[in-house]
Amino acid sequence: MWKEAEIFIRNCYNELGKSAAEIERRLREIKKEIAATGFYKHSYEELEHGARMAWRNSNRCIGRLFWQTLHVFDARHLETEEEIFESLLQHIEFATNKGKIRPAITVFKPVENGVENVRIWNHQLIRYAGYEAEHGVIGDSSSISFTKACEQMGWKGERTHFDILPLVIQVKGKEPKWFEIPKELILEVPIEHPQFSWFQDLQLKWYAVPIISDMCLEIGGIRYTAAPFNGWYMETEIGARNFADDYRYNMLPKIASCMGLDMSTNATLWKDKALIELNIAVLHSYKKAGVSIVDHHTAAQQFKLFEQKEQQACRHVTGDWTWLIPPVSPATTHIFHKNYDNITVTPNYFYQERPYEKMK
């Protein structure tokens, strides 16, 4: 832990413009704290900048230009599931901001001496349930196993395609508790198309804010296993993946049929035509609803600006090319034609084992 702490403090304090004397004084404090307790506590300033650095270092994220705007809520003092739930509601409200989405992270108690203090079981704070049914899946098939876990805990959904899952919070390895999110806090966008009036008859909708809640934030050797964070959507995340993947909502055949496309052969490119119109519908609907969203071309241009700024700061940009390229028309972006080092730099966000997958 000491080595990771030292590397982080030197990098963090240098970026914040602190003096060599301040760095050495803080390192002496930390060394003493680790020797006494096997652990050290970040100041708010360290937590704030560390969480921002973690976003900057996220290899799979195309939206890193805005890393310095991340608002950091310090919730390390919260003890109970009820307190944590209230804090998550505050995060949802702050981030949503009536559609003018604000990037935010709420950081709960870290792992101390091997004890995992807080876990949020949800993949995202707001997410739709998925149910296995006789003739296929109702809702989001990516949520099936978590939905089953929620049902085993006593939650019951309405079995529609868009049931909001409860928040499931676990403290110190105890039995998790679930809480319903008040409906008035959840902003959803009905999907319609600027030209096709039949599109709204598909009754598609999606939530405004993607708040990732199952990753571990690691800063200077300290692991925050509950640190939900959000930016805003790029339209392809909804239009080319959530709605289009054949193992998710699988809407392309229905849309192509409504468009009257020839689906008898792949060579008509009916999937491509339907996919573009679906993404046009998502962008149109979010903009009409006044909800922040970015198209994939603008996002790629923003990433180019991020690369330029990092070069000016003498920092090497790492990236996972397979994730950075958008799933629609990737060759039209500069990212497609570049190579990136997919090496992990800390602070960063890491995947964790899902607790509900251990359930029988």
Give the active site residues.
61, 64, 232, 237
Contact 105, 70 (CB under 8 A): yes
Using only C-alpha atoms, the chain has a radius of gyration, in whole angstroms, of 22
Cα–Cα distance, 199 to 305 (Å, whole number): 36
Six-digit token pair at 33? 């704290």
Instruction: Look up tokens 């195309």; give the residue.
Output: 62
Tokens of 98: 């009536």
Is 216 annotated for ligand binding? Answer: no
Burial of 148 (0-12, 13-18, 19+ CB in 10 A): middle
Identify the CA nearest to 347 among candidates 47, 32, 22, 40. Answer: 47
* DSSP letter, residue 330: G
- Among residues 224, 186, 196, 278, the alpha carbon closest in space to that of 42 is found at 224
Per DSSP, the residues of 151-187 read HHTT-----STTPBPPEEEEETTS--EEEPPPGGG--
Q: Is the peptide bond before 347 cis (omega within 30 degrees of 0)?
A: yes
Q: Measure Cα distances from 57 to 151, 201, 301 in Å.
A: 37, 42, 18
Question: In sequence order, which residues have a C-beta less than 8 Å from that of residue 76 and are 6 or more positions away?
Answer: 47, 107, 108, 109, 110
**Neighbouring C-beta atoms of residue 68, cutoff 10 Å:** 11
Handedness of CA 325, 330, 335, 338 (dihedral sign): positive
Q: Which backbone phi and psi does 335 adopt, to 5 degrees?
A: -60, -40
Annotated binding-site members for heme: 61
Annotated binding-site members: 61
